[in-house]
């Protein structure tokens, strides 16, 4: 089985991706750690960056698993292969393997290349034979293979046969326009295998073993199409990390590998590599400057996140009942989400995850469940606010007797627009801390910032650890009012301290009060945890 990655070539054709040379080196190292068999690095000679990447890779890339591959096209029509500057640049990349793209749809040969069927076949033969004679392993990407096969099966299969006869290791069937479906792939691979067996004078099994598959994702079937081809006997499959690629993208390497290895029992990666899946996926997303897709199969942070109460009630018995694999196998985690769809089981599991044992306290469990549903109906969202949920669960468990680090007497905020145009906010808070009444005032660049500062000043002497807490993110969402009320505001506050972060929520018609609730939870949770730690 050949896992062939083209993140650095086809993946780089995705809109908005622009890797630097250093980025490319880093992505190549990550893919190698993941254990892919081949890394296609780009098209030397097509753009200076790729030429430079191949030059630096010679000394800076020490691949442990993968064979390094340079991509280019067959020679130009009417040009001798050794005189074609693209071919020369490809050779000068000095990679052990090259992949050549060739037209395999007669309509493209005649209309895009503006040459004859015979000359295109000669371009394939000459270029493959040239690189083989130069000691390179050669793959031929047959562009528009499936569309071409439908139009003229003899010609398209003939391009693949010409490449294999000239010494190519694999003829890769490319669904370039990405319009295929798994059943069509299975059928076409079956037919091509028979045709190639006749053309090459080998058995159908030997013929299919020299084919590859490359699927664009225009029908959202690239992963399924790739798996279908492999199940039909094709051993070489091309993919990209996170499915990056031209238009909607390519087959997602992680889903394809997960499906083949974990569902079909094909050991496509070296031992110990599949556990790196989440890390490699997210690191590549980071380098590509694309936020990881939280709902991506296998690797997304929501890939094993369960929201429905019924799911959680079965998971409580055995996580296997509602997970298609053990998430740990690919380096992921299961999460239980607490929302209005939670039942008692969801609440119990989530609380346990947060260190609150509600299992032996059925009344408290019911109270927490009811309270979550009631608050969610009023606009709260605990899904992204574990810290507020934990405080709520602890408060219900203690039946209102949970000591809070401080009690509010009142707060006041004023916003002043000064003559010089400056807008300054000032907040005063009055709180009781460990029996002492404290009044503190602070300024801030906005009302919430001023409130946060004033509260910290008020609490600083009793809780010096507050100095380490940092407001990392602040999100406001306006929610439609219900039952004839006006709009309400939901605020999420993310707080960070010494490597830990936590999120809290507040909801009110008034954005300052919603922010205050989230801030109070943020500081209360932080203080409780820092003290516990
Ligand atoms: C299906 C795929 O995704 S394959 C990968 C495609 N990737 C890219 O195109 C990214 C990099 N490409 C580039 O930087 C440029 O397009 C280059 C350097 C390759 C070529 O640039 P230019 O020489 O300016 O040509 P241009 O892009 O306008 O047209 C492509 C030329 O290659 C020819 N061509 C296309 N496919 C092939 C092929 N398989 N074999 C030989 N020639 C080909 C076309 O007929 C056209 O020739 P012409 O200039 O004589 O009309
Ligand atoms: C080669 C390639 O990327 C394609 O045909 O889609």
Ligand 1 contact via 102 beta carbon (within 6 Å): yes
Ligand 2 contact via 10 beta carbon (within 6 Å): yes
- Quote the pLDDT of residue 343: 93
Q: Are residues 223 and 83 in the same domain?
A: yes
Q: Which of 254, 288, 322 is the endpoint of a domain? A: 288
Q: Are residues 239 and 101 in the same domain?
A: yes
3-state secondary structure of 99: strand
Residue 410 sits in a domain whose CATH number is: 3.30.160
Q: Is 335 part of any domain?
A: yes
Distance CA 428, CA 186 (A): 71
Q: Is 348 part of any domain?
A: yes
* Nearest-ligand number for the alpha carbon of 48: 1
From the alpha carbon of 250, which atom of ligand 2 is closest? 6
Pocket test for ligand 2, best of 212, 214, 226, 244 (most atoms within 8 A of CB): 214
Q: Are residues 481 and 363 in the same domain?
A: no
Q: What are phi and psi of 182, to 5 degrees?
A: -55, -40
Contact 178, 225 (CB under 8 A): no
Ligand 2 contact via 32 beta carbon (within 6 Å): no
90 CA to centre of own chain? 31
Q: Which of 108, 106, 97, 118 is nearest to 5 (CA)?
A: 97
For residue 78, what are its two tokens? 């009417």
Q: Are residues 15 and 36 in the same domain?
A: yes
Q: Which of 395, 425, 440 is the endpoint of a domain? A: 395
Per-position DSSP letters for 27-55, written without gaps between them: HHHHHHHHT-SEEE---TTTSHHHHHHHH
Q: Are residues 508 and 365 in the same domain?
A: no
Q: Whose CA is nearest to atom 3 of ligand 2?
A: 10
From the alpha carbon of 13, which atom of ligand 2 is closest? 3
* Res. 485 pLDDT band, cuts 50 70 90: low
Picking from 239-253, 344-358, 471-485, which range would have the lowest pLDDT averaged per residue? 471-485
What's the 177 CA to ligand 2 centre distance in angstroms?
A: 8
Ligand 2 contact via 176 beta carbon (within 6 Å): yes
Q: Is 293 part of any domain?
A: no
* Nearest-ligand number for the alpha carbon of 249: 2
* Nearest-ligand number for the alpha carbon of 176: 2
What's the 105 CA to ligand 2 centre distance in angstroms?
A: 13
What's the 141 CA to ligand 2 centre distance in angstroms?
A: 7
Ligand 2 contact via 141 beta carbon (within 6 Å): yes
Q: How confident is the model over 125-161, as pLDDT tens digits?
A: 999 999 999 999 999 999 999 999 999 999 999 999 9
* Residue 481 clears pLDDT 90, i.e. is over it: no
The mean per-residue pLDDT over the stretch 432-457 comes to 95
Pocket test for ligand 1, best of 113, 115, 175, 214 (most atoms within 8 A of CB): 113
Q: How confident is the model over 300-340, as pLDDT tens digits?
A: 999 999 999 999 898 888 999 999 999 999 999 999 999 99
- Quote the pLDDT of residue 76: 97
From the alpha carbon of 114, which atom of ligand 1 is closest? 45
Ligand 1 contact via 49 beta carbon (within 6 Å): no
Per-position DSSP letters for 293-318, written without gaps between them: -TT-TTTSTTTTEE--HHHHHHHHH-
- Quote the pLDDT of residue 19: 96
Distance CA 183, CA 527 (A): 58
Q: How confident is the model over 27-59, as pLDDT tens digits?
A: 999 999 999 999 999 999 999 999 999 999 999
* Residue 483 clears pLDDT 60, i.e. is over it: no
From the alpha carbon of 145, which atom of ligand 2 is closest? 5
Q: Are residues 231 and 87 in the same domain?
A: yes
Complex confidence, ipTM: 0.96
Q: Are residues 377 and 515 in the same domain?
A: no
Q: Are residues 433 and 484 in the same domain?
A: no
Q: What are phi and psi of 265, to 5 degrees?
A: 70, 25
The answer for residues whose C-beta is within 8 angstroms of residue 76's C-beta and 6 or more apart is 84, 86, 123
Contact 161, 196 (CB under 8 A): yes
Other CB atoms within 10 A of residue 463 CB: 20
From the alpha carbon of 47, which atom of ligand 1 is closest? 14
What's the 114 CA to ligand 1 centre distance in angstroms?
A: 13
Residue 527 sits in a domain whose CATH number is: 3.30.160.340
- Quote the pLDDT of residue 499: 82
Pocket test for ligand 2, best of 246, 247, 248, 251 (most atoms within 8 A of CB): 246
Ligand 1 contact via 50 beta carbon (within 6 Å): no
Distance CA 527, CA 533 (A): 10
- Quote the pLDDT of residue 364: 95
Q: Are residues 255 and 383 in the same domain?
A: no
Domain membership of residue 486 as a residue range = 468-533
Q: Which of 259, 288, 317 is the endpoint of a domain? A: 288
Ligand 1 contact via 454 beta carbon (within 6 Å): no
From the alpha carbon of 100, which atom of ligand 1 is closest? 39
- Quote the pLDDT of residue 531: 60
- Quote the pLDDT of residue 533: 38
Half-sphere exposure of 43 (CA within 13 A, CB side): 14
* Residue spans of alpha helices (H) in 354-484: 362-377, 386-397, 447-459
- Quote the pLDDT of residue 532: 54
* Residue 73 clears pLDDT 70, i.e. is over it: yes
Percentage of the chain beyond pLDDT 70 is 98
From the alpha carbon of 174, which atom of ligand 1 is closest? 1
- Quote the pLDDT of residue 92: 96
Q: Is 161 part of any domain?
A: yes
Better-scored residue on pLDDT, 82 or 400:
82
* Residue 192 clears pLDDT 60, i.e. is over it: yes
Q: Is 295 part of any domain?
A: no
The mean per-residue pLDDT over the stretch 253-258 comes to 98
Q: How confident is the model over 364-385, as pLDDT tens digits?
A: 999 999 999 999 999 999 998 9
Q: Is 400 part of any domain?
A: no
Task: Tell me how many domains the chain contains.
Answer: 4
Distance CA 357, CA 355 (A): 6
* Nearest-ligand number for the alpha carbon of 121: 1
Q: Is 300 part of any domain?
A: no
Q: Are residues 473 and 446 in the same domain?
A: no
Q: Is 325 part of any domain?
A: yes
Q: What is the mean pLDDT of the chain?
A: 95
What's the 176 CA to ligand 2 centre distance in angstroms?
A: 5
Residue 159 sits in a domain whose CATH number is: 3.20.20.70
The answer for residues whose C-beta is within 8 angstroms of residue 241's C-beta and 6 or more apart is 5, 7, 11, 27, 30, 31, 252, 253, 254, 280, 281, 284
Q: Are residues 421 and 359 in the same domain?
A: no
3-state secondary structure of 75: coil
Q: Are residues 334 and 437 in the same domain?
A: no
The mean per-residue pLDDT over the stretch 380-401 comes to 92
């Amino acid at each position: 089985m050949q896992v062939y990655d083209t993140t650095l070539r086809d993946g780089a054709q995705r809109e908005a991706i622009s890797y630097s040379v250093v980025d490319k080196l880093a992505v190549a190292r990550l893919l190698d750690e993941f254990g892919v068999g081949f890394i296609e690095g780009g098209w030397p000679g097509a753009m200076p960056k790729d030429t430079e990447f191949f030059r630096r890779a010679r000394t800076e890339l020490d691949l442990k698993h993968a064979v390094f591959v340079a991509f280019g096209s067959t020679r130009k029509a009417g040009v001798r292969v050794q005189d074609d500057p693209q071919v020369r640049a490809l050779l000068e990349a000095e990679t052990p393997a090259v992949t050549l793209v060739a037209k395999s749809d007669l309509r493209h040969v005649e209309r895009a290349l503006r040459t004859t069927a015979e000359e295109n076949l000669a371009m394939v033969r000459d270029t493959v034979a040239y690189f083989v004679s130069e000691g390179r392993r050669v793959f031929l990407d047959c562009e528009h293979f499936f569309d071409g096969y439908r139009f003229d099966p003899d010609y398209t299969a003939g391009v693949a046969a010409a490449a294999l006869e000239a010494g190519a290791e694999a003829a890769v069937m490319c669904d370039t326009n990405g319009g295929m479906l798994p059943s069509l792939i299975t059928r076409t691979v079956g037919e091509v295998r028979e045709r190639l067996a006749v053309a090459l004078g080998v058995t159908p099994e030997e013929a299919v073993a020299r084919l590859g598959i490359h699927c664009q994702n225009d029908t959202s079937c690239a992963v399924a199409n790739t798996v279908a081809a492999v199940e039909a006997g094709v051993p070489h499959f091309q993919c990209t990390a996170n499915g990056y690629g031209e238009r909607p993208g390519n087959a997602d390497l992680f889903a394809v590998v997960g499906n083949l290895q974990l569902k079909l029992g094909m050991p496509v990666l070296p031992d110990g590599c599949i556990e790196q899946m989440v890390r490699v996926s997210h690191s590549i997303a980071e380098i590509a400057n694309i936020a990881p897709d939280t709902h991506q199969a296998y690797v997304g942070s929501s890939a094993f996140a369960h929201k429905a109460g019924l799911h959680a009630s079965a998971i409580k018995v055995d996580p296997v009942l509602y997970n298609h694999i053990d998430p740990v196998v690919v380096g992921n985690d299961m999460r239980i989400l607490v929302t209005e769809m939670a039942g008692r089981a969801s609440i119990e599991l989530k609380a346990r995850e947060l260190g609150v044992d509600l299992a032996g306290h059925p009344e408290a469990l019911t109270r927490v469940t009811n309270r979550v549903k009631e608050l969610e109906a009023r606009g709260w969202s605990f899904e992204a606010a574990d810290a507020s949920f934990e405080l709520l669960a602890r408060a219900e468990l203690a039946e209102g007797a949970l000591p809070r680090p401080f009690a509010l007497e009142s707060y006041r905020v004023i916003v002043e627009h000064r003559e010089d145009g400056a807008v300054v906010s000032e907040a005063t808070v009055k709180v009781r801390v460990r029996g002492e009444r404290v009044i503190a005032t602070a300024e801030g660049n906005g009302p919430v910032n001023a409130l946060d500062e004033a509260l910290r000043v008020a609490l600083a002497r009793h809780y010096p650890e507050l100095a380490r807490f940092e407001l990392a993110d602040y999100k406001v969402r306006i929610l439609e009012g219900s039952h004839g009320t006006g709009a309400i505001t939901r605020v999420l506050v993310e707080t960070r301290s010494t490597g830990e972060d936590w999120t809290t929520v507040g909801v009110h018609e008034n954005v300052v009060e919603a922010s205050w609730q989230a801030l109070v939870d943020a500081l209360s949770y932080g203080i409780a945890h820092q003290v516990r730690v």
